Each structure stands twice: as structure tokens, then as C-alpha cells.
Amino acid sequence: MAARRKTGNVTLKDIAQATGFSANTVSRALADKPDISEETKAVIREKASQMGYIANALASFLRSGVSRNIAILVGDISNPHFSVMVKEMQTLLQRRGYNSIIFNTEEKAAVEKQAITTSLSQNVDGIILCPAPGGEENIRFLQMHGKPFVMIGRHFSGEDASFVICDDVHGGYAAARYLLDRGHKDILFLNGPRGISSSAERLEGYRAALEEKGIAYRSELVQTVPVTSRRGTEKMRDILSQRAECTAVLVFNDILAWQVICILGELGRKVPEQCSVVGFDNIKYPYPVHLTSVSSSKTTMAKRSVEILLKKLEGQKGAGEECVVLETDVVEGGTVAVLNEKR
């Protein structure tokens, strides 16, 4: 009768018995300690692999106080703007020996609070988050617990905390000015909630561009819509159907901008012939016509946020709070037309 295979986790003692080394030597070899020869490490690693050894993360954390885990919190992982950044952050962290734990907050402060609490309970070493609207208390909660973190894409005024964002004031200005310079005066702005810093800052830029051109600001042309995919479709349809006089639509992000293009088509308005559309994020979609959009370097934001967090975790000199603002500009596509002055 064949011997039954031993069940349960393989321990350091099991590997020690199989190799003839002490459990302490096995432990130090698997931890890549310099006092163990490379030959011994190779023998122990090979045997550990053969036996299916899995390191006990909790035990390792209790010994070192380091989990090598980083939590990444974003509002809508289905939005390529976030997924591109998450992928870049994961890659960069993995190269430095860290694992990533991803949370989708659905742009809700309560869900974000739960994700932060779970992250803290999992003893993550640090957190990178795109804060949800109204999530100021969550940032203070993180500060209270002393957990290193970096905000990405958004920030809260008055909070002494690191962030990496794009220049949203200039982004809003550049987008509105781009449309104004092409003859558009009735520009509908479908903006995100006020609790999002980028919403407030893009609106500031939008208003500055109108003022510069001597065009009166009309509050009815600025409408707030949900920023997660598909949640605000009906509201946008209602707004667009009621604002047929508008010759252009400036939209909070590219995901929503493509929905706007679809809705305009359903309403019988061709883009850009009868209505121009500009988005934010400059996401590369596999559509026949490229969307005119405000650029923001997603890979640079991801890279800088990881760099700042790792400086904090590794105690590097000058690892205080850092505020990084990246340049933005309009990337021309095929969704904006020059308006005929006689229109």
C-alpha cells in the first residue's frame, strides 16, 4: 500500500530534517541572510520548493514588523484611467519586493473607510489611494494611525499629506479655451462632484477661460454627474436633451465623454458636426475617432506616487510630505469642430 502524503503546511523544521541543517540555518537561508553561503541557500531553497514550502507572512511580520504589502485604493477599477495606473504601480512595487492589494471604493467615502480599515488590519506597510468624494475624515483616520500613504489624482486642501496630481486648473482652462478658440460659446460642462478636488479645480479653469474671453459664466451650463461608469447615464441623457443649444460638451473624464457621444447619437446629434466633445485623461480607446482630451500622465503619476511612498517606508533622507503637480494640455482628436460663425 502506497504511503499517504503528509498533509498540512511544510514547516522550517520539516525542511531542516530533510536537508540536515538546523531550523535556524534554514530560516536565515530563506530570508537571504548574508551569513549563509550561497551554496547552502541554493540547497535549502531547492528543497523548500520541492516540499511546497509557503512562508508564514504573519510570523515574518511579527519578527520584522514589515509585511511587504501595499494597499492601492481607487474609485473605479473598470475605468482605464485607474487600471493603467494600478498596473504600473503593481509592476513598480513588485520590482522592489512588495505585493499589492487592490480595493475598489466605488467613489464612496464609506466604502473607502472600510477598505482602509481592512488594509490596516492586514498590516500593510503603506497605502496609495485616490480619495473618494467627501473622504477628508478617512485621510485624518490614516494620519491618526500613522500609516504612510500617498494620495494620487486628487487631494484635500489644508491636509498635510503627500499627493501626486495633474494641474487640473490649467486642464480646465486649456479645454475650455480650446473650444472657445474654435468658436464655441455655449459650452456645457458635465463635471464631477464638488468633493473631488479635480472637479473644483477644473471648474476654476473653465471659469477663467470664459472670463478671459469676455463671456459670462452661466451656472446652468455646469452640471454635476456621477463619475463612475454607467451610473449617470440617464442624468446625462436628460441634461443633453434639455441643452440642445450647446455646441460643445466638456466632460469630467473620457469614460463619461464616450457615453456622451453615444447619447448625442441617440438624440440625433452628430459629433463633431453638430456638437463637439472634450474629455479628460487622454485614454487610448480602440474607436474609429480619437477623442479630444486633456492629457495627464498616468504612468508618471503612478511612478511618482510609488517613489514617494517607498521613500517614507525605507526612511530615506528628505522623506517628508511631498506635493507633486504634473503638467496638463489638450491632445487633439477628432471630436471637436471649428464652429461656423454664421451658425
The reply to whether 107 and 39 lie within a common domain is no
Round to whole Å and give the CA distance between 256 and 294: 14
Nearest Cα neighbor of 76 from 311, 250, 252, 340 is 252
- Asked if residue 332 has pLDDT above 80, the reply is yes
Say how many domains are in the chain: 2
Q: Contact 103/123 with Cβ under 8 angstroms? A: no
pLDDT tens-digit readout, 48-63? 889 888 766 555 655 5
The reply to whether 113 and 258 lie within a common domain is yes
The reply to whether 20 and 157 lie within a common domain is no
pLDDT at 64: 55
pLDDT at 97: 87
Torsion of CA 278, 283, 284, 286, to 10 degrees: -80
Nearest Cα neighbor of 45 from 66, 63, 18 is 18
Residue 13 grid coordinates = 523544521
Domain range holding 43?
12-55
The reply to whether 148 and 23 lie within a common domain is no
With bands split at pLDDT 50, 70 and 90, how would you rate the model's confidence at 195? Answer: confident
* 62 inside domain: no
pLDDT at 3: 39
Residue 103 CA: distances (Å) to CA of 87, 114, 118, 122, 234:
13, 10, 10, 13, 27
- Asked if residue 214 has pLDDT above 60, the reply is yes
* 267 inside domain: yes
Residue 31 grid coordinates = 530570508
